[in-house]
Structure 1
Amino acid sequence: MTFSICVHEAYETEDGDSHRRFGVAVTTRLPGVGTLCPFVSDRGAVATQSLVNVALGERGIDYVDDGLAVDDALEALLNADDGAPQRQLHGVDGETTFAFSGDECVEWYGHREGDHYTVAGNMLTGAGVLEAVAAAYEATAVHETTDPSTGPSAVTEDHGTDPLAKRLIDALAAGDREGGDKREALPIQSAAVRVETTESHAVEPPYNDLRLDATETPIADLRETYELAVQGYRDTLARYEGAYEADSLDDATE
């Protein structure tokens, strides 16, 4: 009833600092997917879906944060879960990937592990949904290269490489165009995108954590929300960046 993508990117900023970031994007033909499926930190990303077990996502990301490899962490959790045949669980850390689809998931279901990313889905119109998601992400992936899309200047100047949150929304859109979730009788849908990075900002980009909990057009609405969040970030930086950097309201304007 869902399709999602988890990614890891390692890159240098234009000032030569090395960083990594992780992201999850997910959509489904049910409300509130952002409250259940995506889990992310600056060490990994995990998505739990099909017959959702939220504890798999919560504990999985905790284990990764504690230093356990994502494949070891998620496999151990599934081994202890009696409902594993009905689960989908996938994710990435800084070195490895993991993806699992239980054999009691509802057709069409499946998963794919790529270069620093995973995709999975169930109750889909067909395999082409995941293929489209993967292809869209692969076409714009950033890894072990200088990435000019980070930092405040990313939303104030035209640098060419889009922020990861936007590229993940684009990947969801590609899957949706291929048919997405097959349950057309369920019009109320949802979508979410979450990104965490080792970079620090005086003002954290709000577009890295967005969700639409109930709408008939989740991808379009998530994209519009992203664009509004970027505009709001620009406005915030223009007015309050100095105050945030100084940790003082003395330099704040009205």
Structure 2
Amino acid sequence: MTFSICVRETYETDDGETHDRFGVAVTTRLPGVGALCPFVSDDGAVATQSLVNVDLGERGLAYVEDGLAVDDALEALLNADDGAAQRQVHGVDRERTFAFSGDDCVGWFGHEERDHFTVAGNMLTDGGVLEATADRYAETAVHETTDPSSGPGAVRDDVETDPLAQRLIDALAAGDVVGGDKREELTIQSAAVVVETTEDHDWEPPYNDLRVDASETPLEDLQATYDRAVAGYEETLAKYADAFEADSLDAVDG
């Protein structure tokens, strides 16, 4: 029903601080995927799909936040799930990745784990959807690797990059272009992107948690929503920067 991407990026801010950020982006030919699939915190990211078991996302992420490795957390939950053969779940934490596709998922289905991100999908036109999604994200990934010469995924300190939410939307769009979800008879679709970071902001960017719940053009609408959210964020900071810095409405002019 779905294809999605879960990522972890380690990056350095201008003041020399090192932070982690996690994100999930997902789209499907059903409404409301943002309420069911993506689970993200500043400790990890999990996506649950196929015959969705929300518990895998909620409890899996909770276990990660409690210090359990993402693979141990999700494997334990799957082992206790009688419907595991129909599930698809994948995710990342600060050190590991995990991906699982049950044997009873509907084809085409599959998953892929790379250095610091995972992709998975089912009811797709073919495996090229995941390959295109993964490759598009890897082209612009910002992440420390043990071998910066290893190709996509190396640190890009000298290159201006878009925010992670934008790059995840781009990755979904690349997968959709080559086929996406194969059920063309279903016109109502949805998409979502969620990003969390260990970095503090005076006001959390609203473009890091966006959903299009029912649309015939979900990725186009998600991109348009993102663009408006970025513009609104910049306008808000320009008008209320003093209030945010002082954490006081007394600094608001008019």
TM bin (shorter chain): over 0.9
Which residue of structure 2 aligns with residue 218 of structure 1? Answer: 218
- Structure-2 separation of matches of 1:31 and 1:48: 15
Which residue of structure 2 aligns with residue 115 of structure 1? Answer: 115
Q: Which amino acid aligns with 2:246?
A: A
Per the normalisation by structure 1, the TM-score is 0.94
Shift of 1:199: 0.5
- Structure-1 separation of matches of 2:116 and 2:64: 15
- Contiguous gaps of at least 5 residues in structure 2: 145-154
Which residue of structure 2 aligns with residue 243 of structure 1? Answer: 243
1:172-183 to structure 2, matched below 5 A, reads 172-183=172-183
Q: Which amino acid aligns with 2:176?
A: D
- Is the partner of 2:182 in helix, strand or coil? coil
Shift of 1:147: 5.6
Which residue of structure 1 aligns with residue 3 of structure 2? Answer: 3
- Is the partner of 1:202 in helix, strand or coil? coil
Aligned length: 244
Deviations 1:170-189 (A, max 9, x none): 00000000110000000000
- Structure-1 separation of matches of 2:63 and 2:178: 34
Shift of 1:15: 1.1
Q: Is the 8 A contact 1:11 1:147 kept in 2?
A: no
1:1-254 to structure 2, matched below 5 A, reads 1-144=1-144, 145=155, 160-254=160-254
- Is the partner of 1:139 in helix, strand or coil? helix
- How many percent of aligned residue pairs carry the same amino acid? 75
Shift of 1:32: 0.1
Q: CA-atom RMSD, angstroms?
A: 1.1
Shift of 1:253: 2.4
Deviations 1:108-159 (A, max 9, x none): 00000011000000000000000000000100011124769xxxxxxxxxx8
Deviations 1:36-82 (A, max 9, x none): 00000001000000000001100000000000000000000000000
Q: Is the 8 A contact 1:203 1:241 kept in 2?
A: no
- Structure-1 separation of matches of 2:241 and 2:119: 37
Q: Which amino acid aligns with 1:132?
A: A
Deviations 1:1-28 (A, max 9, x none): 0000000000111110010000000000
Shift of 1:160: 2.1
- Structure-2 separation of matches of 1:205 and 1:44: 18
Deviations 1:179-216 (A, max 9, x none): 10000000000000000000011111000000000000
- Contiguous gaps of at least 5 residues in structure 1: 149-158
Q: Is the 8 A contact 1:147 1:161 kept in 2?
A: no
- Structure-1 separation of matches of 2:122 and 2:87: 10
- Is the partner of 2:140 in helix, strand or coil? coil
Q: Which amino acid aligns with 1:113?
A: E
Per the normalisation by structure 2, the TM-score is 0.94
